[in-house]
Amino acid sequence: MRNIIYWVLSAFLTLAIAIVSLRYVTNFWLLSFIYSFQIHLGAAFVAASLVILAVRRHVYGFALLLAALLLTAHGIVMLKEFGEDSRETGTAPLFRLMSFNVAIDNWKNSTAIADMVIASNADVVNLMEAKPLTFHLQRLFKVYPYHIGCDHGKDSCDTLVLSKRPFVTRQVASIGSLRKDRLVAAGVAFGGQTVNFVSAHLTKPYYDDYQAEELEDLDKALDSLSGPLVLSGDFNSSSIAPAIQAFLRRQKLKTVAPEPTTWPIAFGRFGIAIDHIFARAPLHLTSLKRLDDNLGSNHSGLIAEFVLDSDGGTAPAR
């Protein structure tokens, strides 16, 4: 009986490890979300391997344990790929950015969210699914007199970008074919240098191949921007998902590693980061933190501070 249990458990674990390992062969959209949980699944596979070895010590069980350890270790290595060394300079940051998915049905916390935005002292705020803030816009505009989005009532209030400084450039566009106007690109001048702020809200990766289309469009949008750039938003995927990795490599984007986890809320710091803030040189993050309270959203928000290389140049961004 013990031998039967051993081989049944081994078969199930082999299949599970094989599914997660498919990331090294293909980036199939149906499995993309699973790839975001590689570290969590790898740790679960390690535990399962130990259970199997407790049932019976056999070379195949040790092989499964090794495979599980390799999956976990590689996931941790991938998390660090897009991190960069701290750029703490002892001087005040150039600017502060907040990024937060409010959640489209989060009406009861709208007042508290507006209060949090105002108290954040952020220079630029990127809000997604901002419909619940419809009745607080005028109060927000007193602190942030420059805005993009939410101009035509609550039905048009999805992405909302707020700024304390005027926009040098501004553009609203669609990425992919599923949803409209979820890409905002705006230039804001800090210290004589225009910084490109890009907000993106991507579709969940298991919705067919819509996210792949969105990343292609986002690639083209970023290629058209020169100069310092910061990209923030809800990607609905971890930075270790193959499609996100490829995109970050192409665009030479960096963040702080490990990134603060933002979803699911119930997992706390043991979740994954599907909301991101990235920067492209000569811009660098000096800090990236999760907001203290999710205020009813199913995502945690982020706040980041940035510095610009002293030799970053003075050519204005397009």
Query: What span, in angstroms and rounded, lies between the C-alpha atoms of 7 and 160?
Result: 54
pLDDT cut 90: percent of the chain above it: 86
Task: Enumerate the H helices of 59-204 as residue ranges.
Answer: 59-81, 110-119, 137-143
Strand 229-234 vs strand 193-201: parallel, antiparallel, or unpaired?
Answer: parallel
pLDDT band for position 89 (cuts 50, 70, 90): low
**312 neighbors 282 (Cβ within 8 angstroms):** yes
pLDDT at 86: 59
φ and ψ of 307, to 5 deg? -130, 160
- Residues in Cβ contact with 257 at an 8 Å cutoff, skipping those fewer than 6 apart: 79, 80, 82, 83, 84
φ and ψ of 201, to 5 deg? -125, 105
Q: Which CATH architecture has domain 95-308?
A: 4-Layer Sandwich (3.60)
Q: What is the mean pLDDT of residues 16-35?
A: 92
pLDDT band for position 87 (cuts 50, 70, 90): low
Q: Name the nearest CA neighbour of 175 among 120, 260, 247.
A: 247
- Residues of the chain within CATH 3.60.10.10 domain(s) are 95-308
pLDDT band for position 313 (cuts 50, 70, 90): very low
Q: What is the mean pLDDT of residues 252-277?
A: 96
Query: What span, in angstroms and rounded, lies between the C-alpha atoms of 41 and 191?
Result: 46
Q: Which helix or strand (DSSP H or E) is residue 33 part of?
A: helix 32-36
pLDDT at 153: 72
pLDDT band for position 315 (cuts 50, 70, 90): very low
pLDDT band for position 32 (cuts 50, 70, 90): confident
**318 neighbors 224 (Cβ within 8 angstroms):** yes
Higher pLDDT, 283 or 208: 283
User: Tokens standing for 208?
Assistant: 């067919």
pLDDT band for position 73 (cuts 50, 70, 90): very high
pLDDT at 208: 85
Tell me which of 86-90, 167-171, 252-256, 272-276 is least confident: 86-90
Query: Does residue 310 carry a pLDDT above 70?
Result: yes
Q: What is the mean pLDDT of residues 48-64?
A: 97
Average pLDDT score, the chain: 93
Query: Which tens digits make up the pLDDT trace of 189-226?
Result: 998 899 999 999 999 998 888 999 999 999 999 999 99
The residue assigned the tokens 């409010």 is: 102
The helix-helix angle for 210-223 and 242-251 (nearest 10°) equals 10
Q: Name the nearest CA neighbour of 164 among 113, 116, 118, 110.
A: 118
SS3 helix, strand, coil % of the chain, rounded to 5? 40, 25, 35
Q: What is the mean pLDDT of residues 236-262?
A: 96
pLDDT at 88: 59
Query: What span, in angstroms and rounded, lies between the C-alpha atoms of 228 and 281?
Result: 6
Query: Which tens digits make up the pLDDT trace of 123-180?
Result: 999 999 999 999 999 999 999 999 999 987 777 799 999 999 999 999 999 999 989 9
pLDDT at 314: 38
What number of helices (H) and strands (E) belong to the chain?
A: 8, 11
**315 neighbors 226 (Cβ within 8 angstroms):** yes
